Chain A
Amino acid sequence: MEAAQETGNLTGIRQIILVLSGKGGVGKSTISTELALALRHSGKKVGILDVDLCGPSIPRMLKVQDKAVHQCDSGWVPVFVDQEQTISLMSVGFLLEKPDEAVVWRGPKKNALIKQFVSDVAWGDLDYLIVDTPPGTSDEHISAVEALRPYKPLGAILVTTPQAISVGDVRRELTFCKKTGLRVIGIVENMSGFVCPHCSECTHLFSKGGGEELARHAKVPFLGCVPLDPQLTKSLEEGQDFIQEFPKSPAFPAFISITQQILDGTLAQTS
Chain B
Amino acid sequence: MEEVPQDCPGTSSAQAGKGASCQGCPNQRLCASGAGAAPDPAIEEIKEKMRTVKHKILVLSGKGGVGKSTFSAHLAHGLAEDESKQVALLDIDICGPSIPKMMGLEGEQVHQSGSGWSPVYVEENLGVMSVGFLLGSPDDAVIWRGPKKNGMIKQFLRDVDWGEIDYLVVDTPPGTSDEHLSIVQYLSAAHIDGAVIITTPQEVSLQDVRKEINFCHKVKLPIIGVVENMSGFICPKCKNESQIFPPTTGGAEVMCQDLKVPLLGKVPLDPQIGKSCDNGQSFLTEVPDSPATLAYRNIIQRIQDFCDLHNSKEEKLISC
Contacts and interface: CB of A to CB of B under 8 A. Distances in A.
Query: Are A and B a genuine interacting pair, yes or no?
Result: yes
Interface of A: 22-26, 29, 53-55, 57, 60-61, 99-112, 134-139, 141-142, 161, 163-165, 168-169, 171-176, 179-180, 194, 196-199, 201, 203-207, 228, 230, 233-234, 236-238
A34 to B, nearest CB: 14
A179 B269 CA distance: 37
Q: Which of A24, A161, A168, A199 has the most CB of B within 10 A?
A: A24
Interface in B201-235: 202-204, 207-208, 210-215, 218, 233, 235
A104 B95 contact: no
A226 to B, nearest CB: 14
B10 A108 contact: yes
A158 to B, nearest CB: 12
Given A101-B211, A104-B218, A201-B238, 20 more contacts: A22-B141, A24-B174, A25-B174, A53-B177, A55-B64, A55-B174, A57-B208, A60-B203, A99-B207, A110-B146, A135-B95, A136-B95, A138-B95, A163-B278, A164-B278, A165-B277, A175-B141, A196-B238, A201-B236, A237-B246
Contacts of B146: 106-108, 110, 138-139
Nearest to B135: A172
A179 B141 contact: yes
Contacts of B202: 233, 237
A136 to B, nearest CB: 4
Contact of A102 (B9, B218, B269, B275): B218
B178 A107 contact: yes
A196 B244 contact: no
Contact of A135 (B174, B176, B245, B249): B174
Given A25-B63, A134-B64, A169 B203 contact: no
B233 A234 contact: no
Given A135-B174, A194-B233, A194-B244, A165 B274 contact: yes
Chain B contact surface mostly? loop
The bracket for how many chain B residues form the interface is 35 or more
Interface of B: 4, 6-10, 62-66, 69, 94-96, 98, 101-102, 138-147, 149, 173-178, 180-181, 200, 202-204, 207-208, 210-215, 218, 233, 235-238, 240, 242-246, 248-249, 269, 271, 274-275, 277-278
A251 to B, nearest CB: 13
Given A135-B95, A139-B146, A203-B236, A108 B64 contact: no
Nearest to B132: A168
Given A110-B177, A196-B237, A237-B248, A175 B63 contact: no
A111 B6 contact: yes
Nearest to A175: B141
B278 A176 contact: no
B274 A207 contact: yes
B249 to A, nearest CB: 8
Contact of B64 (A24, A102, A111, A237): A24
B131 to A, nearest CB: 11
Contacts of A180: 143
Nearest to A98: B214
A109 B11 CA distance: 12
Contact of B142 (A102, A172, A233): A172
Given A101-B214, A136-B173, A196 B143 contact: no
Nearest to B203: A237
Given A100-B210, A101-B214, A179-B141, A234 B248 contact: yes
Closest 9 CB pairs of A and B: A25-B65, A24-B64, A107-B146, A54-B175, A136-B95, A175-B141, A102-B211, A199-B238, A172-B141
